[in-house]
Structure 1
């Protein structure tokens, strides 16, 4: 007794020797022989001959147009995508810091740096701290994801130092110590 595995539901279908094989799966009732495999030749004549043997004839007899491989627009789009990916890789190689996108986990490209002027920023003064956590002017680096185009900002090293210094001063002031 042999066993056939249904490609759709992965059920094992026992086949008795000498009996004709099942054409449909008794579990999911899908066709066992026609798993809908698509074979595409990429220009080799040998592949076309093999495809004709597999399909039982010429693909033009079935009325299907499989000439999409020769489509210039598709080739042009693939080349453009390849050039895009190569450019992204080169830009990422130049960066010192390469953060991951919080949405899609792709590496982000550094797009530039922005300055925040005192007139454009109104700091919040927490009661616990008694002074702003961050005061303008400060700068931040802007990153862009080349996959989902999410934008992310990261505070510059100078701004980070400013926050660390202010928060450590607040901690020592609460404990009664002076820096």
Structure 2
């Protein structure tokens, strides 16, 4: 098992609800030069929502939790709609938090808040998986997954910002181009 002391020590600290300090491409480019080829391939193929965990135990545990969460969320949604939940496969979770997070997300009134709650739960699970991994590949895998979460949040915030700006801009333009309003504003 390779140790990546300098690689990990050189990475910026990640914190939930703080914009990502580096891009996904920058992270991968930095790691490519310092990781063993087999570790690089594992890292490069790592995805927050991937289906194939490969042979890495940490990724297998992460994907087990994530799949069991999706399954539980689907079961709760189906139940809410009055659909038979027996057709939805139940994936046994490693912890009871899966059901708790799925229920809380489903009860959330705003889709944006539900997504934030889910991503926060993902972050917390990754922090649990990170325990006792200090300078190894698993630490880098968790870092990359967390960085993907931060980029999801940043993308959502950027899209909302552009949408809000565009909406305000068009309202202002409509007010300026409205001849009735122009006539009133000159009186």
When the two structures are superposed, what TM-score results if normalisation uses the length of structure 2?
A: 0.25
In terms of Rg, which structure is larger? 1
Given the two structures, how large is their TM-score scaled by the length of structure 1?
Answer: 0.26
